[in-house]
Amino acid sequence: VGEVSPRYSAVKGTRDIFPPESERWGSAEAVCRSVFSGYGYGEVRTPVLESTELFARSVGETTDLVHKEMYTFADRKGRSLTLRPENTAGVVRAVIESGAATGPMPLRLWYVGTQYRFERPQAGRYREFRQIGAELLGVGGPAAEAEILTMLFAFLSALGFVGLSVSLNSVGTAATRERLGEALRSALASSASRFGEDDRRKLEQNPLRLFDSKDPEVQSALAAGPRPMDFLDEASRRHHQEVCGLLRQAGIPFTEAPGLVRGLDYYTRTVFEVVSQGLGSQDAILGGGRYDGLVEALGGPALPAIGFAIGEDRLLQAAPYRPPLRGLALVLPGAPEDLPAALRIAEEIRKLGGDLSVETDLNGRGFKKAMGRANDLFSRAGELGFDAGRMFAVLVGERERAQKQVTVKRLSTGEQETFSESQLAERLGAGRQA
Ligand code: HAM
């Protein structure tokens, strides 16, 4: 590979993902689909573009997300559009717009897709990133929390995670937040002069958002101050206790996190997060909670709901998950004249089924060069996602063609055998996955 100086580069905070890493992502998404559909969740696909107003109304005008992090622009007709920074608002909009919000309940939906936030990029934090999420609408009782978190843990363990635990809290109702906000304003008034401008604005406009601040001054003022739990109404307190009881019964490990309020305004009652070791400062692999008022706030019926979103980039960085290894058959023409036969034989091998990848040496470089590449692939088998014991070179040369034969070389042992084409299924079949 020669030196190139690229004329274009990816936009800051975005990235390209190539095989085999992209294969690993796709495979993890397939695991997700299989686990979630086992719980009756169906995939919903909503647009990346939504009206700006949708996020202002749902996530909240004074949140950092809406206030500072959205990719917002006017389209050619002057409408204000935003690249979705999260997917819950879009799902709720879609559910209302389609009429599903007034149909049979509950609604169980999941999604995977890119989200956009204008944040300062760093390890685990991108401006374009992917989320895998699920939303359960129409269930107000604690069984919803139990199902959502059980499903989440089923997925996390399918990816090989062990020892994860949910941080759990309740932020109560809108009235709780109102009272907590008032209490925070008076408790923190005397410290406010030591806060930055942004946090002073939050104290004024939306004191709960101070919990998102990274400023140690703010954090230490908050540590001594009031907590959501102190302001919970009786029904929310009971709900929280029932959630804890069900999670214990389900064997979902959790710890109470009284300082957890989450950065989005739509949450009511249950909020949760999961962090993973070894990810540095951006260690939250997922977050979620209940949003019992959102459907109604966006013009739908009063419908309780709960959900979560996993940051797929962080998830895959932390997950021990490796996709199942595949076999590989490299079909190598001895010379350019052997290409038509090689293409035909490659197609026959594909028809045998199984999980073999079948690649033809389309440049017809001859056995020597092509075997060089085959051995190179073999030496990196694990890294490339191949099962070293099931890697073959299928040689198609003049001699083979004349006799309607193929020569198959097993890369791990170097053993080589020539047999008739009609025996391909039988011979290579043995090399396919048991
Ligand atoms: P969120 O906490 O804003 O919640 O995002 C969920 C997850 O997305 C985070 O825990 C993190 O793993 C990932 N994430 C967020 N920002 C970035 C970034 N800049 N780069 C990489 N990963 C990132 C929500 O979005 C809610 N919609 C979750 C929800 C669903 N609540 C109820 N239903």
What's the rounded mean pLDDT across residues 273-283?
91
pLDDT confidence of residue 428: 80
Specify the residue with its C-alpha closest to ligand 1, atom 23: 311
Task: Check if 92 has its Cβ closer than 6 Å to any atom of ligand 1.
Answer: no
pLDDT surpasses 80 at 45: yes
The tens digit of pLDDT for each residue in 199-258 reads 999 999 999 989 888 899 999 999 888 988 899 999 999 999 999 999 999 999 999 999
Task: Check if 121 has its Cβ closer than 6 Å to any atom of ligand 1.
Answer: no
pLDDT confidence of residue 426: 82
Phi (first) and psi of residue 409, to 5 degrees? -115, 125
Task: Check if 400 has its Cβ closer than 6 Å to any atom of ligand 1.
Answer: no
Q: What is the DSSP string of 325-388?
A: PEEEEEEEESSGGGHHHHHHHHHHHHHT-TTEEEEE-TT---HHHHHHHHHHHHHTHHHHTEEE
pLDDT confidence of residue 434: 39
- CB crowding 284-298: b at 16 or more within 10 Å, else e: bbbbbbbbbbbbeeb
What's the number of CA atoms in the CB half-sphere (13 Å) around residue 262? 28
Q: Please answer whether residues 170 and 270 qualify as being in contact, where contact means their C-beta atoms are separated by less than 8 angstroms.
A: yes
Structure confidence at residue 99 as a pLDDT band (50, 70, 90): very high
What percent of the chain lies above the pLDDT cut of 90? 87
pLDDT confidence of residue 96: 98
22: left (phi over 0), alpha (psi -120 to 50) or beta: alpha
The tens digit of pLDDT for each residue in 129-143 reads 999 999 999 999 999
The tens digit of pLDDT for each residue in 283-332 reads 999 999 999 999 999 999 999 999 999 999 999 999 999 999 999 999 99
Task: Check if 167 has its Cβ closer than 6 Å to any atom of ligand 1.
Answer: no
Helices H, strands E: what count in the chain?
16, 16
pLDDT confidence of residue 433: 46
Structure confidence at residue 430 as a pLDDT band (50, 70, 90): low
Structure confidence at residue 2 as a pLDDT band (50, 70, 90): low
pLDDT confidence of residue 157: 97
Could you tell me the distance, in angstroms and rounded to a whole number, from the CA of residue 64 to the centre of ligand 1? 13
Specify the residue with its C-alpha closest to ligand 1, atom 30: 308
Could you tell me the distance, in angstroms and rounded to a whole number, from the CA of residue 232 to the centre of ligand 1? 25
CA distances 39 to 78, 151, 309, Å, are 43, 7, 16
Q: Tokens for 36? A: 């979630």
pLDDT surpasses 70 at 432: no
Structure confidence at residue 3 as a pLDDT band (50, 70, 90): confident
Q: Tokens for 316? A: 């895959």
User: Positive or negative, the Cα torsion across 383, 385, 391, 394?
Assistant: negative
Q: What is the pTM of this model?
A: 0.94
Round to whole Å and give the CA distance between 306 and 88.
10
Task: Check if 147 has its Cβ closer than 6 Å to any atom of ligand 1.
Answer: no
The tens digit of pLDDT for each residue in 175-206 reads 998 899 999 999 999 999 999 999 999 999 99
User: Positive or negative, the Cα torsion across 194, 196, 201, 206?
Assistant: negative
